Amino acid sequence: MTIARTLSRPLIASMFVYGGLDAVQHPTPKVEKAKAVTDPIADLLPIDEEPTDLVRLNGAVQVGAGVTLALGILPRLSAAMLAASLVPTTAAGHRFWDEQEPRARAQQTIHFLKNVSMLGGLLAVIALPRAT
């Protein structure tokens, strides 16, 4: 395994572990923004979960998949799970298109693009040939 691959996985995973732990331990500040995603999903799927529970669940997925990615355990599956958790996180948390104030819009755009960049890194993990 290359040094770059050995270092890249924990570097990609670090934000997910940190953010996931925060979501599990402190979901309440994220719930209001999460409703932009959880409410339409709840309308489409037969789920009765509260938005707080869904925020915690998403955070737990990020912690678990982040740790396994960092350790190189099932890295493609871990990256796929992180990618799947990143989409609703980004759609709910960084809705720059809803921001009216220019400074807030710029900040949310930066965070949105950061998440898109992280998604690109995860897709690279999924697509890279296996190390021998």
The answer to the question of residue 11 being in a domain is: yes
The answer to the question of residue 84 being in a domain is: yes
Considering only CA atoms, which of 38, 12, 43, 5 is closest in space to residue 23?
A: 38
Check: CB of residue 13 under 8 Å from CB of residue 74. no
Top pLDDT among 30 and 2 is at 30
Considering only CA atoms, which of 60, 113, 119, 64 is closest in space to residue 86?
A: 119
The answer to the question of residue 121 being in a domain is: yes
26: left (phi over 0), alpha (psi -120 to 50) or beta: beta
Q: What is the reported pLDDT for 132?
A: 47
Residue 50 pLDDT greater than 80, yes or no: yes
Which pLDDT band, with edges at 50, 70 and 90, does 1 fall under?
low
Question: What is this structure's pTM?
Answer: 0.89
CA distance 37 to 43: 10
Check: CB of residue 125 under 8 Å from CB of residue 83. no
- Residue span of the structural domain in which 98 resides: 3-127
Considering only CA atoms, which of 85, 84, 90, 82 is closest in space to residue 108?
A: 90
The answer to the question of residue 132 being in a domain is: no
CA distance 57 to 23: 9
The answer to the question of residue 103 being in a domain is: yes
The answer to the question of residue 15 being in a domain is: yes
Total tally of structural domains belonging to the chain:
1
For the ranges 12-21, 40-49, 64-73, 108-117, which has the lowest average pLDDT?
Answer: 40-49
